[in-house]
Amino acid sequence: MNPTPRATPSSTLPAALPATLHAARLGLARGWIEFKQSLTNPQEIGFTLVTSVSIVVVLYFQRDATLPGTDMPLAAASLPSILGLIVAFNGLVGAVGALAVEREDGTLLRAKALPQGMVGYLVGRVVSLSLGAVISLLIVLVAGLFMVPQVSGAGLGGWLTVAWVTALGLVATLPLGAVIGSLARSPQGAAGLSMLTVGALTAVSGIFYPISALAGWLQGIAHVFPLYWLGLGMRSALLPDAAAAVEIGGSWRPVETVVVLVAWAVAGLLLAPPILRRMARRESGSAVQARRDRALQRIG
């Protein structure tokens, strides 16, 4: 009687890994591949360049203006907040748009068929969209350094703050975007819903003017969502300490910034996979085909 052959370590390793961690590892690889593919897509590259250049043009026209009652250039005050808005915009709108499109073309249906497929899908989307957001951020930041020399004095601590605010902001907003995208019925509805969400949050989050000028109840709403904290974190990194005087409490509140962004990141990463799984359970080949037929009818 032949002894039962032993499994080699290499053959047992994937099985020994927890299914969720294995799916997350595959998602990391997928996200990197999708990002590299996006760099060869003229439409995606064109959108990134157009939006980034538009922001740079706004900063260019602000370079000689100053904030009322101060000698601080308006562009220096605007640039950090705009960087925070770029992070939130790419996180929310990017995730909503990607989810809507990939729901239409059957990508979610294919992910649904894999063990822990929604986890791998979500991680892949977080990675690819985060890398795309970093490209937009760098374009605006590098251009801003030439037009707003005051920002170049941030120092090592300031640039490290930019890095961790960006990382936490993306992880906090991308899963939230996926949840919002799961509520939309079509790419058109997803686009409208995401722009409405970002526009409403931008209006109350002190991105373009001090939040202290708003009513107290609006300030309370802004404090709940990550966009205000993204702008505050970027301003704390790139503006002088004296600029904190116009903030609530006259402080940059770094601890609160970390706590809120981490809370959103944890909540999003815990809630998004089951919500996506629930949405994917309603997906079927016939549903995908029906949406394609409706889209062709609209085109025709």
Q: Is residue 293 part of a domain?
A: no
Tell which residue, 277, 259, 93, has the closest CA to residue 176. 93
Tell which residue, 165, 157, 136, 141, has the closest CA to residue 47. 136
Residue with tokens 């992910």: 111
Q: Is residue 245 part of a domain?
A: yes
Q: What's the confidence (pLDDT) of residue 296?
A: 54
Q: Is residue 290 part of a domain?
A: no
Q: Is the pLDDT of residue 284 over 70?
A: no
Q: Rounded to an integer, what distance in angstroms lies between the CA atom of residue 259 and that of residue 276?
A: 25
Q: Is residue 10 part of a domain?
A: no
Q: State residue 40 phi and psi, 5-degree precision.
A: -105, 5
Q: Characterize 133-154 residue by residue with b for buried, 16 or more Cβ atoms within 10 angstroms of its Cβ, and e for exposed.
A: bbbbbebbbebbeebbebbeeb
Q: Is the pLDDT of residue 5 over 50?
A: no
Q: Is residue 9 part of a domain?
A: no
- The mean of the pLDDT values for the chain is 80
Phi-psi region of 116 (alpha: psi -120 to 50; beta: other; left: phi over 0): left
Tens digit of each residue's pLDDT (9 = 90 or more) over 117-155:
777 888 888 899 899 889 989 999 888 888 887 777 778
Q: Is the pLDDT of residue 111 over 60?
A: yes
Residue with tokens 């350094």: 145
Q: What's the confidence (pLDDT) of residue 95?
A: 82
Q: Is residue 129 part of a domain?
A: yes
Decide: helix, strand or coil at residue 280: helix
Q: Is residue 294 part of a domain?
A: no
Q: Rounded to an integer, what distance in angstroms lies between the CA atom of residue 49 and that of residue 44?
A: 9
- The token duo for 127 is 């990675």
Q: What's the confidence (pLDDT) of residue 291?
A: 58
Range of the domain at 227: 19-283
Interaxial angle between packed helices 254-281 and 117-147, expressed in degrees from 0 to 180 and rounded to the nearest 10? 140
Q: Is residue 175 part of a domain?
A: yes
Q: Are 207 and 81 in contact (CB under 8 A)?
A: yes
Q: Judge if pTM exceeds 0.85.
A: no
Number of domains in the chain: 1
